[in-house]
Chain A
């Protein structure tokens, strides 16, 4: 027996560990050592928290209190000590035992401690009043162990006297619980019911004595819920006992230990027994079958004690050199994600799926009960969507895998029928029909096919411990110190990355990146194994999954965190319990919990999305996030500031002080000013003034100086900017303030000599006043000063003075506006936030169209390009398009299946197409141009195929691909089908490029735009191309046929209208609008053509356009009657203001004189068509001919010629009608 699934979580090195206790809530264990020390470990972090050393000699018993910050210990110094781990000291000592204390345990609710001792007694102590309350005697050798029952008033004890005893302590509880009124009878009854022991002690009485062990019993435990007891003895046996109200008996024995069994206990949740012994093993037994499930052996250390965590799946065992904390099985549920589905294995070993979009769990699809051993959960699951198969590995029996097909329909937890299995530690799908199996013991990877036979064998690098999918055709081989990317086909290493202890690999959904998870590190790599970033967590990393945007979310024991590609990470949310992330979508994180239940957790992805957007400089996204979510908090602000985006951080801050700082940092003076005004502190003004000066924004500088009352600086600023007015005001202010220096300074700046002299006089500095006056040649002033001071000129020795100084004034009055201001760092983002970036406006509104000449200016009419097909438009041509059956193609003729022939060439798929379809387009694709032309000729009378050449080529080109195959051979031709899923050779049909929809949004729209923009030549070309595209085409339904026909007839009408207008323009090109220079014939023809322009059935806005043009043209050329009729029609139809206005104007003027200058062949009241060849009316009743394809009308004499509109068909030819659908 091996121990594949015992997972060691923590190991300590110390002297012999004799006692262990788990803290019920915290990740702590107490270990009491043979060396007299008690250790307190954090087994999650692997750190020694504290040491307690007051016992003298070995400490054997140890226990945490369930709720109080207390623990109790008992040692070979006969002492029981109660400690506070908060105060880190022994609170008191309970003395009384007369020999080694073996075990000590707290009661689950009463303030009691039970202790067992080599003095053969079991004692119960009250740790509140620190008194011995009961001594239980009866064992006649060392009592090795005594424990309270978890619920009932029972104690079980084990002794070297080979017996196990169960004691009833209900009497003790009654005695020590709050006194209740008790009748004498009750007391009597109680006294009689409880048989007193030989000392008359009724507090604790022996209920059962269990005899069966042949040697001393070392340990005994109650089952947490069932009336069961398990004991371990020096007879190397583990015995299971059952008890009822009245008796107790031995149930069975577990044999296996080959040395003294030291301790044993029941698994808190599962039907298992765990035991340890001096044979250096930990053994796990099936409680129901009493068979060994697994065992774990240490090389050199005898085990002395075992303890179970009360809540979670953790155990600890003490041995000669320390303790080990372990769990029996992995709790990570095996799972795999494919698109929107999660496949996972439940605790019952059922395979289930979970749909992320619907948030529903499927019923069980399969039961994997038989996989591995019953107590070992599967380790991994790999899913193959192409085959709908799963590959499951289990660590049982040294590692096994099974390949199982998932049933098509879920019928419950059925046992799989067709499974392929083998041995291996890891197994993953590497391709649609291949999987890799890794065997650690012989260090070999087998590549297997779906029938489970090995097709290839790979020797992985030495020390490989696991394999993962490595991208198509590759594997990631994980060794203890590196990860290797291995190409399966080439059988060589592509890359290697040194990274320690990788345990899991998580690929991003686009397959470009992967996260390598080790216990404490996440390393993000590219698919070619280049390290992108790495991060360290102090807490254990459990799982990870990728966001669609390329953000890694990972879970630790207690958090969900994110990591961006650049390694920036943070906490997304905290977790109450460990979960395994499988997927993140928007605000939802999907995970499996330890019970393998899918769960959906809500997260707020704002922070990481914002950071991601910031890194990608996706300002729209950032803007959107700011607008829609409450992204606040110091962290994001400091993040932005740190990353150098103060201007963005500015958007989030409310606090004026911070806003000011940020505004200064990013040079946003407006905000800075605003904030400074709010705060109004000199220091801020000071900083603002410096900053504003650096920016050249002297208006702000001025304001800050004013605020700071910095008069001299202000004056200098005014001087520098040339603001004389303000400078004068400064002088006044200085005068008011009586600040002579300032006054002098201002006067100097202003060049105000008078003022200076006055000032000098005022302060009795006459010499200076005199000198000033003298220097400026103000003799009168000099005189008056001399008089005032009572001196004469001769008495003064004047030094020679130069020319008077007058200050320079700036040439440009720069005070009116700021100096060229330093560009602030206003990002696109910021602008967007301020609404300055405008969306791309619909240019259609402003698109100027080409009707540019002054008379024919069309301001608005042309803008509506995307007009709908007029639903009400009467499709007069539809009759001609009736879907008559074609008489031609031999499609229904007997189909000979050539494939039955044995040798010789077959017919190509292209030939099939021609056979399978009556449509011309399909024949073109088949390369059978001749039959295609025949079909078109019969259907629509096509005769001139030259214009269709491009279309033929295009269809043919689109129908064949060229696949390079064997070397030096020509590529294999394959035939592109529109019937992609069809395999019946009689139903396959070729792809025909340019479907109706693409023509509608392409040519059809472009043609109408050309009309609106007055690009008539282009328009004609585009519409003709449209006709050619639709002539050789296929559509999918009758409805589309109708639609196509409507498009054809509309195109025809546009071509006709444009051609008429072009004809008119060609006629009058020398004088486009004024017909006066032309002969009468030309005049008449031009006016007629203008009138005919209004006849074709265009879409309303284009019809109005034609009317409007013709109206203006007629009006200009004095055809008032025609103009009037166009005006009237236009008033009815047009919705364009300009057209309406013109129409009203012309109507008013024409009504005064409703006559035509030239009589033209145009009857506004008659119903007629325009001949598309001669552009003359075909009145009803007169002989005419029609194009069978486009429906253009012609005078009878054109019959037999090629249609002028479509350019392909013969006018008036017999035709069965175009077929577009098979």
Chain B
């Protein structure tokens, strides 16, 4: 039986992982799991730890390992740590490449190394690695995200459509379709909204992730007060949620309100958030563009 299927042991932990309930994943009681699922559960927990930014803890836990799955997680942890320190992480990328060529059939290798490669900008390599998956929705979701980051909504949509055929009830497929939908716009906004709302309003799956997703859909639909309340709910759950703060900044900008306070909060929580990085880059672009003009102030 597929351990991720509706009856499988891993379903709940897996769903929680993809709903962004990372702390819930790390504390998930897996003691009763059968031995065959123990590794998968451990990997999910480690990946959740990484998502929570506990890179060092993961690295120290995996100091010596020969297991390909855990090595892959270790590579990812190493990469994330160096990125966090502001480094290129070239070493980790190389390690990812090596592991990918050696253990390309391993799903965890695909996912972790694929993530590393995609983040390092080696998109084609990442996609090639992930394409070797054997019916893994995790891999599909990652592929879809990479396509979207490439701005290839068309390819992402195709991937999602394929996945829907064989795993239509999965949370991940729904989520991935919503990601695509938010790029497509129009009626897809509403569909994406339904998915996130369903998650965000059900007590068990209400997380900052799902609330942010709901808020973003509302925001794209132009329903600003609703978006605001969803984001505030997300912040009530986790006042340090970087993504909630970032999107609240966006919302306030749309409403013409001041965003300075949120910005400084975000800078404290996660200085490397994309919105801040982008803003800094754009500031430079602005200066560069402005320099082409030489205004004269005095006669």
**Which A positions have Cβ atoms within 8 angstroms of B?**
386, 431-432, 434, 447, 449, 455-457, 471-474, 487, 489-492, 494, 511, 528, 899, 903-909, 927, 929-930, 932-933, 937, 942-946, 949, 952-977, 980-983, 988, 991, 993-994, 998, 1002, 1173, 1197-1198, 1200-1202, 1210
Contacts and interface: CB of A to CB of B under 8 A. Distances in A.
Interface string B193-231: 010011101111100010011001001111000000000
B293 A976 contact: no
Interface string B256-293: 10010000000000000111001100110110111011
Contacts of B194: 386, 431-432
Contact of A967 (B51, B152, B212, B275): B51
Nearest to B171: A489
B198 A473 contact: yes
Contacts of A981: 186-187
B134 interface: no
A489 B279 contact: no
A953 B258 CA distance: 12
A415 B249 CA distance: 53
A386 B188 CA distance: 12
A980 B219 CA distance: 10
Nearest to B186: A983
Contacts of A945: 286, 289-290, 293
A381 to B, nearest CB: 21
Nearest to A900: B154
29 contacts: A432-B198, A490-B205, A491-B6, A494-B204, A905-B151, A929-B285, A933-B289, A933-B290, A943-B296, A953-B283, A954-B256, A955-B253, A960-B275, A962-B216, A963-B182, A964-B209, A965-B141, A966-B115, A967-B50, A967-B51, A969-B142, A970-B149, A972-B145, A977-B185, A980-B189, A980-B222, A981-B187, A998-B256, A1002-B256
Contacts of A932: 289
Contact of B221 (A434, A929, A980): A980
A1183 to B, nearest CB: 14
B203 A528 contact: yes
Given A487-B204, A906-B150, A976 B186 contact: no
Given A474-B202, A933-B292, A993 B274 contact: no
Nearest first, the 9 A-B pairs at minimum CB distance are A473-B202, A455-B169, A944-B295, A983-B186, A906-B151, A958-B253, A472-B201, A967-B51, A957-B253
Interface string B140-156: 01100100111111100
A968 B299 CA distance: 56
Nearest to A527: B203
A322 B51 CA distance: 70
A994 B256 contact: yes
Contacts, number: 242
Interface in B102-126: 115, 118-119, 123-124
Contact of B275 (A962, A964, A1200): A962
Given A899-B154, A962-B243, A953 B285 contact: no
Given A906-B152, A958-B250, A968-B51, A943 B298 contact: no
B161 interface: no
Given A432-B198, A930-B289, A1210-B295, 6 more contacts: A957-B279, A959-B250, A961-B220, A968-B119, A980-B186, A993-B253
A909 B183 contact: yes
Interface of B: 6-7, 11-12, 15, 17, 20, 22, 47-48, 50-51, 76, 80, 115, 118-119, 123-124, 138, 141-142, 145, 148-154, 168-169, 171, 175, 179, 182-189, 191, 194, 197-199, 201-205, 209, 212-213, 216, 219-222, 243, 246-247, 249-250, 253-256, 259, 273-275, 278-279, 282-283, 285-286, 288-290, 292-299
Contacts of A904: 150
Contacts of B152: 899, 905-906
A349 B219 CA distance: 42
B290 A953 contact: no
Contacts of A959: 250
A77 to B, nearest CB: 69
Contact of A953 (B138, B246, B282): B282
Nearest to B277: A970
Given A432-B194, A968-B51, A980 B254 contact: no
B73 to A, nearest CB: 10
A994 B243 CA distance: 23
A969 to B, nearest CB: 6
Residue from B51, B123, B151, B249 having most chain A Cβ neighbours under 10 A? B151
B230 to A, nearest CB: 12
A956 B282 contact: yes
B203 to A, nearest CB: 6
A933 B212 CA distance: 34
A955 B199 CA distance: 31
A471 B198 CA distance: 9
A386 B186 CA distance: 15
B222 to A, nearest CB: 5
A456 B279 contact: no
A213 to B, nearest CB: 60
A113 B115 CA distance: 94
A949 B286 contact: yes
Contacts of A933: 289-290, 292-293
A822 B206 CA distance: 53
A6 B297 CA distance: 94
Given A933-B290, A967-B22, A958 B296 contact: no
Contacts of B191: 432
Contacts of A998: 256
Contacts of B273: 962
Contact of B216 (A386, A909, A963, A977): A963
B109 to A, nearest CB: 14
B205 A1198 contact: no
Contacts of A993: 253-256
A554 B212 CA distance: 38
A632 B169 CA distance: 58
B289 A929 contact: yes
A927 B256 contact: no
B18 to A, nearest CB: 8
Nearest to A1173: B299
Nearest to B111: A966
Contact of B148 (A492, A511, A972): A972
B6 A455 contact: yes
Contacts of B254: 958, 976, 991, 993
Given A471-B202, A945-B286, A961 B219 contact: yes
Contacts of B222: 980
A976 B141 contact: no
B216 A961 contact: yes
B156 to A, nearest CB: 10
Contact of A490 (B12, B50, B115, B169): B12
A407 B222 CA distance: 30
A449 B50 contact: no
A455 B201 CA distance: 21
B220 A487 contact: no
A432 B202 CA distance: 14
A503 B166 CA distance: 38
Contact of B293 (A457, A492, A943, A1201): A943
A966 B145 contact: yes
B219 A976 contact: yes
B145 A946 contact: no
Nearest to B275: A962
A492 B13 CA distance: 13
Contact of B201 (A471, A528, A943, A971): A471
Contacts of B185: 977, 980, 982-983, 988
Contacts of B47: 967-968
A386 B15 CA distance: 25
Contacts of B247: 961-962
Contact of B80 (A930, A968, A973, A988): A968
Contact of B202 (A449, A472, A927): A472
A969 B148 CA distance: 12
